[in-house]
Structure 1
Amino acid sequence: MESPLGFRRVTGERSAMNDAVLFEKVGKTAVITLNRPQKKNALDQAICQALPEVLRAARTDRTVRSVVLTGAGGAFCSGFDLDGSVSSDEPVFAGREAVLDFHRWLRELQELEKPVIAAVDGAAAGAGFSLALMADFVFVTPKARLQSSFLCLGLVPDLSLLHWLPRLIGLSRAKEILFSARPVGAEEALELGLAQVQVPAEQLVERALEYARQFDDAPLQALGLVKTLLNRSFESDRETMTQFEAMAQSLCVGSRYNSEAVRRFRDKEGLLYRGTARFMS
């Protein structure tokens, strides 16, 4: 079924289409594929129009328990499409307006209260680097290259790269990577903690789906609260986090999931959710 905003829901085997974004449900996982391989999935107008609707579909579908985000054609995302036009009544403000427009759909991804796995093959450059870091977990292939290429064009990193990168790897390492504008390969990404596992390219989505399936029976609301509170922990002091924690726990204690999980535990029937296995390369 095709959306008027440019993404298509597909079932079974994925095929080459001209749609900007593909949305496929595999079990309880939504697979979202950027589908502009001829431009290494650069963020053009079509992708940016389709992504918000795709992400809302993943958020509102209660049968979706996890998301895999990937790119078609051996690349994840090469950043903003420099061939696209950015129009504004005030040209000097065009860049600001474009970045703020990006953030309106990026927030849908960042605040999605479901596990998100970025499956990265090839280039994740510029805004594509930022996009990969919005995921909770990053799977890479040996060909993956994470690169902040903004300074090469006389630009500053955007899409929250300046926010997330130093929090993930520390300030001095973030400065070195951003100032040098050099690519970070798969092995270094693993060493820095920017990626969790390296897998062969032909197994990338399969392995991401395999990991995602472990969340099928997870407590959806509780996991979503954990993700939301963790994302705010860097900007909150301990007492504020304690209050958030107490309110979230109150909601969870009153949930049907908690009631059934406690009953099963007491009756020795086994846990509803046993957690996930460690990443295996």
Structure 2
Amino acid sequence: MIRTTIENGVATLTLDNPGRKNALSASALGELADAVESLNRDATVRALVLCGAGGDFCAGGDVSAMQGGAQVDTASVRRRMIESQRPCAALAGFDKPVIAVVDGVAYGAGFSLALMADFIVASDRARFCLAFARMGLLPDLGALHTLPRMIGAQRTRELVYSARELPAREAQALGLVLDVLPAEALGARAQELALAMSTQSPEAFAMTKRLLAQTFERDFGALLDAEAGAQAIALTSPYLREAAARFARKEPPAFRWPRNDIKT
């Protein structure tokens, strides 16, 4: 169900169940969490691309495996839900860049999963939907935390309560999607971004990512204090010394953001 490849320091995790539009079973969620945790420990991996096979990202939870709520012990379901949240914790704690590549559908938990990435790039045929209300459910896999931080409370309520489909261009206009591209250009753009970001200082990136994740929870003074400690580490790093030497030699920096010149 989860396929892993690593090339040039970029790991690609592929949800590989195209016959079910890569729907997430309990076993697939466990495999995904294991893979993300393993890649975070792998020093040779500098960035992660998360995608789906067969022209879709992920159709969400495996509805065929769900049972009627009145017939199931609530406590046992809660335990299963806590276990299913492992990929969220693994991706939230992933110290390296994560890019979600969304082609086709990103529904339900698939949408939630994409929101755990640092960036989402989408095809022009991608569709996002928090479809939970259609099944009498509430959003899971962290979407009630991640989504309002990206688009605000009002827009989040509208998408959650309506369970409507969100086309790629509207998702980009809301700030959910970084780039919208033709499907055939999507993989190359994701790899280009991942390779570029992998040339950043791994220490500085990891600390920046952690502080950004805490920005709504810390007051300004606490954030400044954490920033000072993190910057002290970055300012004494080998990466900074090499970057300063390149500057003195009038050489281009190792890290340069790749422009997106593909028009749709």
Same fold, judged at TM 0.5 (above): yes
Once the two structures are superposed, residues 80-116 of structure 1 have per-residue CA deviations (whole angstroms, 9 ceiling, x without a partner) of 1122368xxx712244223211222321112211111
Task: Please list every run of 5 or more consecutive structure 1 residues that lacks an aligned counterpart in the other structure.
Answer: 1-19
Q: Name 1:177's counterpart in structure 2.
A: 159
Mapping of residues 220-239 of structure 1, within 5 Å? 220-239=202-221
1:112 and 1:49 mapped to 2: Cα distance? 16
1:77 and 1:110 mapped to 2: Cα distance? 19
Change over 3 Å in CA distance of 1:177–1:125 after alignment to 2: same
Query: 1:72 is matched by which residue type in structure 2?
Result: A
How many positions carry a matched residue from both structures? Answer: 261
Question: By how many angstroms is 1:75 displaced?
Answer: 1.1
Q: Name 1:241's counterpart in structure 2.
A: 223
Q: Name 2:100's counterpart in structure 1.
A: 118
- TM-score w.r.t. structure 2 length? 0.92
Mapping of residues 250-269 of structure 1, within 5 Å? 250-269=232-251
Contact 1:99 1:159 in 2 (8 A): no
2:182 and 2:249 mapped to 1: Cα distance? 43
Which of 137, 144, 148 is the equivalent residue of 2:126?
144
Contact 2:40 2:95 in 1 (8 A): yes
Q: Name 1:15's counterpart in structure 2.
A: none
SS in 2 for 1:83: helix
Question: By how many angstroms is 1:122 displaced?
Answer: 1.0
Q: Percent same amino acid among aligned pairs?
A: 39
Contact 1:21 1:33 in 2 (8 A): yes
SS in 1 for 2:117: coil
Q: Name 1:198's counterpart in structure 2.
A: 180
Q: Name 1:33's counterpart in structure 2.
A: 14
| Structural RMSD (CA) | 2.0
Question: By how many angstroms is 1:213 displaced?
Answer: 1.3
Task: Please list every run of 5 or more consecutive structure 2 residues that lacks an aligned counterpart in the other structure.
Answer: none
Question: By how many angstroms is 1:280 displaced?
Answer: 4.1
SS in 2 for 1:218: coil
Contact 2:192 2:258 in 1 (8 A): no
Mapping of residues 75-154 of structure 1, within 5 Å? 75-84=56-65, 91-154=73-136
1:227 and 1:279 mapped to 2: Cα distance? 23
Q: Name 1:60's counterpart in structure 2.
A: 41
Contact 2:29 2:86 in 1 (8 A): no
Structure number with greater CO (CA < 8 Å, separation at least 6) is: 2
Deviates more, 1:211-220 or 1:93-102: 93-102
